[in-house]
Amino acid sequence: MTRRGPVAIALLLALAGPPVFAQESWRPAWTAAAAPARFDVDAAKAPIGYQDQTIRQDLRMGIAAKAVRLRISNELGQEPLTLDGMTAAGPDGRVVPVTFGGAREIVVPVGVALVSDPLPIRVKLADLLTVSLHAPGPARGVVRRTAVRLGAGDAPVSASATLERRQSFVSAVYGLSDKPPAVVVALGDSITEGATSTLGADADWPSVLGRRLEAACPGAYVVVNAGISGNQVVRDGRSPNVRARLDRDVLSLPGVTHVVVIEGINDIRHDGDPTHPGRSPEEVIAGYRQVIARLHLRGIKVIGGTLTAFGGSERFDERSEAARQVINAFIRRSGEFDGVAEFDKATLDPDKPQAMRSDFVRDDRLHPNDQGYAAMAQAVDLSALAHPGTSCAATRAPRR
């Protein structure tokens, strides 16, 4: 009988890796991409942050799960983040303390994200998970803006408190599922973030697409939102460009099979001064190619979303419109994407081909309203999201 010493046994265990069940059963149920503090100010010109306040978020779960974990991000913060008094509650209202290695208070270093201990909270798909955390402050939110409710001190916040669109700290909720779904990531800027959708209504196009997929293929897919207002393909703006954040916001998520990307409008527009033009379409296309190549290395399919029209907006000019047309032609005809989501055609004004339909767009002529977001979600061909692990007829490509 051959004896193996401790080193050999450890090596065998390392090669074996973690159990497949544990690795494959956690899936993102909700996400908010890390984003630097915007340094917005309120009506009195005071910086918007948190100082001895409790932040409540009611997060719509994209999957059914028998346990959940939270991810807290300070990856793009500028100073250590102190949080305490964190709790979570499912639909039954039972409040569960959130711990990290058993600790209730955490100090998250700059550049770091922490994942909580598993929480014994069962949720069904579309249930609300209520997460509350106390920020002793001063602290600034460092994930994209979402709907939050605020209260003074370390105390419960009422469900009737006013909703605000603000940055916070929860960057993901993971759910433990016996039948883990395929994960579709919506990658983009404010149009994907849903910056102009009705606050708290889950009316952004990724949420609407998620409901559409659930109706067609129950339990088979989850769609998570990786949009950030102001994001760009080529250069950093309010947040790291899409190539720089791809590992953190997409590749770090378990179970990703598809990415639907619509980015580039912020690249090609001028910066407010028409003599400072935006990036060329060739630069944006080169960025797309890098995103596609890196996702394909992981076996992830990439659906290209055509850029929506923005004629009549404050930073529109003929140069940026010409660039949009070149980029959309590449998305449609190059064959480098695995599929195309015709967001442009779905929202275009047939009488003004440089603009979105007036009933689909906000007054800024750039961002969709709830109807526009719904039209975008309908523009995604479900057969482009076909995945070997699902047997849903709605995502099967039609026979030729």
Whether 320 and 242 map to the same domain: the answer is yes
Whether 165 and 185 map to the same domain: the answer is no
pLDDT digits (tens, 9 = 90+) for 80-92: 999 999 999 999 9
> Which residue has 């975008």 as its token pair?
376
CA distance 352 to 349: 5
The confidence score (pLDDT) of residue 388 equals 85
Facing residues of 59 across strands? 129
Whether 230 and 89 map to the same domain: the answer is no
In a domain, 101, yes or no: yes
CATH number at residue 228: 3.40.50.1110
Radius of gyration of the chain (CA): 22
- pLDDT of 1 over the 50 cut: no
On the CB side of 54, CA atoms within 13 Å amount to: 20
The confidence score (pLDDT) of residue 45 equals 58
The confidence score (pLDDT) of residue 275 equals 86
Domain end residue (candidates: 118, 138, 173): 173
pLDDT digits (tens, 9 = 90+) for 99-143: 999 999 999 999 999 999 999 999 999 999 999 999 998 999 999
- pLDDT of 397 over the 80 cut: no
- pLDDT of 55 over the 50 cut: yes
337: helix, strand or coil: coil
The two beta strands, 113-115 and 146-152, are unpaired
In a domain, 389, yes or no: no
In a domain, 392, yes or no: no
The confidence score (pLDDT) of residue 7 equals 38
pLDDT digits (tens, 9 = 90+) for 194-204: 999 999 999 99
What is the span of the domain harbouring residue 135? Answer: 29-173
> Which residue has 């250069």 as its token pair?
235
* pLDDT band (50, 70, 90) for residue 28: very high
Mean pLDDT value of segment 363-387: 97
CA distance 342 to 331: 10
Return the closest-CA partner of residue 168 out of 152, 149, 153.
149
Mean pLDDT value of segment 13-38: 69
- pLDDT of 298 over the 80 cut: yes
How wide is the angle at C-alpha 373 spanned by C-alphas 88 and 316, nearest 5°? 120
- pLDDT of 48 over the 80 cut: no
Whether 68 and 205 map to the same domain: the answer is no
Contacts of 26 (CB under 8 A, 6+ apart): 69, 174, 175, 176, 177, 180, 254
In a domain, 299, yes or no: yes
In a domain, 265, yes or no: yes
Mean pLDDT value of segment 346-372: 97
Number of domains composing the chain: 2
Whether 186 and 285 map to the same domain: the answer is yes
Strand arrangement, sheet containing 68-73? 26-31, 170-176, 68-73, 113-115
How wide is the angle at C-alpha 61 spanned by C-alphas 58 and 63, nearest 5°? 170
Residues 396/386, Cβ–Cβ less than 8 Å: yes
- pLDDT of 163 over the 80 cut: yes
- pLDDT of 10 over the 90 cut: no
Mean pLDDT value of segment 368-393: 92
Mean pLDDT value of segment 27-51: 83
Other beta carbons within 10 Å of 160: 7
Whether 203 and 84 map to the same domain: the answer is no
How wide is the angle at C-alpha 226 spanned by C-alphas 256 and 189, nearest 5°? 140
Whether 224 and 311 map to the same domain: the answer is yes
In a domain, 400, yes or no: no
Mean pLDDT value of segment 273-289: 94
Whether 119 and 205 map to the same domain: the answer is no
The confidence score (pLDDT) of residue 238 equals 86
pLDDT digits (tens, 9 = 90+) for 228-280: 999 999 999 889 999 999 999 999 999 999 999 999 999 999 988 888 889 99
133's tokens: 């955390």
Angle between helices 205-216 and 370-378 (to 10 degrees): 40
Mean pLDDT value of segment 374-394: 89
Mean pLDDT of all residues belonging to the chain? 91
- pLDDT of 96 over the 60 cut: yes
- pLDDT of 8 over the 60 cut: no
Whether 227 and 373 map to the same domain: the answer is yes
Whether 263 and 354 map to the same domain: the answer is yes
In a domain, 10, yes or no: no
CA distance 400 to 398: 6
- pLDDT of 5 over the 80 cut: no
In a domain, 17, yes or no: no
Facing residues of 186 across strands? 225, 260
Whether 321 and 277 map to the same domain: the answer is yes
Q: Three-state secondary structure along 264-286? A: CHHHHCCCCCCCCCCCCHHHHHH
Whether 43 and 187 map to the same domain: the answer is no
Which range has the worst mean pLDDT, 48-57, 211-220, 306-315, 383-392?
A: 383-392
